Chains A and B, each alone.
Chain A
Amino acid sequence: MLKKGLEVKSPRAAYGETLVELGAQNKDIVVLDADLSCSTQTCKFQKAYPERFFNSGIAEQDMMCTAAGLATEGKIPFVSTFAMFATARCLDQIRNSICYPRLNVKIVATHGGITVGEDGASHQALEDVSYMRSLPDMTVIVPADYNEVKQVIKYVSEIHGPVYVRLARTNLKTVFDESEYVFNPEKAVKVKEGSDVTLITNGETLSEVISCANMLQNDGISAEVLHVPVAKPFFAAGDIIESVKKTGIAITVENHSIIGGLGSAVCEVLSENLPSRVLRIGTPDCFGQSGEQRELMNFYGLTDEKLYKTISGYLGKK
């Protein structure tokens, strides 16, 4: 299932390419963007099917409700911009005009998390999963690499209802082998088997967590790694409970605030079903800042080495 050898690819490119493939098969697919089509890679769809591409200009609220109107008429709109503007700016539009009428709108936002980089806090969405997860009927997916993004985009085009897909800006290490990995929304992906601690993550931190787990292994700590791309509905709850029954400790890692995202979802499930020790790793209750992507990952403790230090220290205290 895991990719052998090092490959680094853009999840955004995977999105753009998959849109073009889907557009050929399904004429109801339309795409909307707000003046960021090169960044989000929807420009690929625009080039292939200009008549089904709508640039709203820098008017995200208008874009969301236009998508709602298109979906009302049976179209399948994919709506893209940066995660910051897609969610925070348009929360009312998404809630009232998309989720409330349960419309078939696919919001695929790029530039989620701290790794937006030099643009700084105004562009770093650290709360987007939290916003989207709180909306009734919204599905929230945070895929981890190029190959998974391709399958996720295809999957969301086939299910009915509102979806939020969060993509990273960063070119990411390919974790999953394209010929072996099959995206299953209803399961946590057990990337590594272990018995001492359960590491739960999704999105661009998955490859860091895998690397961290290998470092822990060298110290004789057996970490189980669960990748949970679907943050809502939280189908993976059962898999998480099962794993933590075995290990007794859950540690969540995400490129997102520790408030309201994957860490919160895990706490909700465990506190109700299997009260356990949980450590949430992510950005604390703070705004981001400018910096290079790797510098920021390091600063906020999300690189493999920083995770290793934090987790070793935490486990040492047990």
Chain B
Amino acid sequence: MNKFNATVRSDILKMIHNAKSGHPGGSLSCVEILSVLYNKILNISPEWKKSPDFEKRDRFILSKGHASAALYSVLARKGFFAPEELMTFRKLGTRLQGHPSTRTKLEGIEVSTGSLGQGLSMAVGVALALKLNNNPARVYALLGDGEMQEGSVWEALMSASHKGLDNLTVIIDKNNLQIDGDVNDVKSLEPLDEKLEAFGWQVSEVDGHNEEEIETAIKNAVKSGKLCAIIANTIKGKGVSFMEDNAGWHGKAPNDDELKRALEELNA
């Protein structure tokens, strides 16, 4: 694990521990995806609205808003705001709300999410607006696999392909777990790739913890000029042995001892 990702993982755990609440599992599973986006893909300045190129920035939408801790950490570590603010996560009066909100004017947050199944439709709206404005910026949306049980996600998938939104790329953090257990037990999405293809999307599949694979897949998606969905196979709780692949860590904060053990594993 590279240093950036280890730092993000340790931020996530410290923030959730400090808040005594949050979602470690789905935050840890998407660290590499966010890392590739913010380090290698997104054309976006941490100066945010002060940047002269603000309008031209690529838009990132975290549809699985419960992974907020991961996004906040990445934004802070990229310089959008001071890392010291991370420890205000979920505290009264914070800009780092439990789920991302534009109301608190936190640098780097494009839209408010948290209620699942709504981010992709918003991404479709943003992509349509960019086209109307002849703005070459691109839109990237990160969805959870459990989230894809929301019917409105499929409405949005249908909209995007009907409207030919080649400026939109979807990444699915497929960690195979949701609160009540294994996605395949709760309500299976399979065959997910075929379903997406049937909805008009070109699908690629990557190891969601392999940065090279993620980067290549996104770049290929952009190059293809087609509507692309990338299924990133991930491990919920990735990086902390006792959290990995354990639905119990979807929305639970580590206690003092668990935090200590987790940080030791991360060498952070």
Contact = CB atoms under 8 A, between A and B. Distances in A.
Given A70-B129, A100-B112, A62 B103 contact: no
Nearest 4 CB-CB pairings of A with B? A69-B125, A65-B121, A73-B129, A62-B155
Given A73-B133, A96-B114, A65 B125 contact: yes
A72 interface: yes
7 contacts: A54-B163, A65-B124, A68-B121, A69-B127, A73-B126, A73-B130, A100-B112
A100 B119 CA distance: 14
B92 interface: no
A112 to B, nearest CB: 24
A52 interface: yes
Given A59-B155, A65-B122, A97 B128 contact: no
Nearest to B157: A62
Most A CB within 10 A of own CB, among B103, B118, B119, B125? B125
A139 to B, nearest CB: 17
A77 B125 CA distance: 10
B112 A97 contact: yes
A100 B102 CA distance: 8
A92 B115 contact: yes
B129 A62 contact: no
B222 interface: no
The size bracket of the interface on B is 20 to 34
Interface in B138-160: 151-152, 155-156, 158-159
B101 interface: yes
B94 to A, nearest CB: 16
A68 B125 contact: yes
Contacts of B103: 100-102
A61 interface: yes
Most A CB within 10 A of own CB, among B101, B103, B124, B162? B124
Nearest to B124: A66
Interface string B155-184: 110110011000000000000000000000
Contacts of B162: 57
Contacts of A73: 125-126, 129-130, 133
Given A59-B155, A62-B159, A96-B118, A68 B111 contact: yes
A97 B129 contact: no
Interface string A80-98: 0000000000001100110
A101 B123 CA distance: 15
Nearest to A51: B132
Contacts of B163: 54
Contacts of B207: none
Interface of B: 101-103, 110-112, 114-115, 117-119, 121-130, 132-133, 151-152, 155-156, 158-159, 162-163
Contacts of A100: 101, 103, 112
Interface of B is mostly: helix
A74 interface: yes
B118 A72 contact: no
Contacts of B112: 96-97, 100-101
Interface in A158-182: none
Nearest to B114: A96
A147 B152 CA distance: 37
A96 B97 CA distance: 14
B130 A56 contact: no
B199 to A, nearest CB: 13
A307 interface: no
A66 B122 contact: yes
Nearest to B112: A101
Contact of A65 (B102, B114, B152): B152
Most B CB within 10 A of own CB, among A56, A59, A72, A100? A72
A67 interface: yes
A62 B115 contact: no
Contacts of A101: 101-103, 111-112
Nearest to B131: A51
B125 A66 contact: yes
Contacts of A54: 128, 163
A129 interface: no
Contacts of A96: 112, 114-115, 118
Contacts of A75: 129, 132
A70 B125 CA distance: 5
Contacts of B119: 65
B133 A62 contact: no
Nearest to B99: A96
B159 A69 contact: no
Given A61-B151, A64-B121, A68-B121, 8 more contacts: A62-B121, A65-B119, A66-B121, A68-B125, A69-B111, A73-B129, A93-B152, A96-B115
